[in-house]
């Protein structure tokens, strides 16, 4: 199992898996919860919730990968302080 410690390394792991044509869904399921939120002809958009609390939007197409945090770090800190 691949371990990641931050968002940047998580993105690099996903990029390398896509380049090697490895299905990323199995990896994501092993790291948390995955929900398909949009599907098109050549596009799949997932929301990923890690077991450590990170929330990420992942868009996967035939020739691209986009990973965007659903929650900004400042918002996360504010919620934890309350």
- 24: three-class secondary structure by DSSP: helix
Give 18-41 pLDDT, tens digit per residue.
Answer: 888 788 898 899 989 999 999 999
Specify the pLDDT at position 82. 59
Average pLDDT over residues 45-55: 91
Task: Give the start-to-end residue ranges of the domains of the chain.
Answer: 7-81
- 66: three-class secondary structure by DSSP: strand
Give 51-74 pLDDT, tens digit per residue.
Answer: 888 899 999 988 889 999 987 656
pTM of the model: 0.75
Q: Tell how strand 55-61 and strand 32-39 pair up.
A: unpaired
Specify the pLDDT at position 79. 60
Long-range CB contacts for residues 10-16, cutoff 8 Å, separation at least 24: 10/54, 10/56, 10/67, 11/67, 14/58, 14/65, 14/67, 15/65
- Res 2 pLDDT > 60: no
């Amino acid at each position: 199992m691949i371990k990641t410690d931050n968002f940047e390394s998580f993105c690099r792991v996903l990029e390398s898996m896509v380049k090697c044509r490895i299905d990323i869904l199995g990896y994501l399921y092993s790291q948390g919860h995955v929900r398909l939120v949009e599907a098109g002809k050549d596009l799949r958009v997932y929301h990923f919730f890690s077991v450590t609390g990170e929330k990420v939007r992942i868009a996967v197409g035939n020739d691209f990968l986009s990973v965007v945090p659903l929650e900004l770090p400042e918002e996360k800190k504010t919620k934890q302080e309350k």
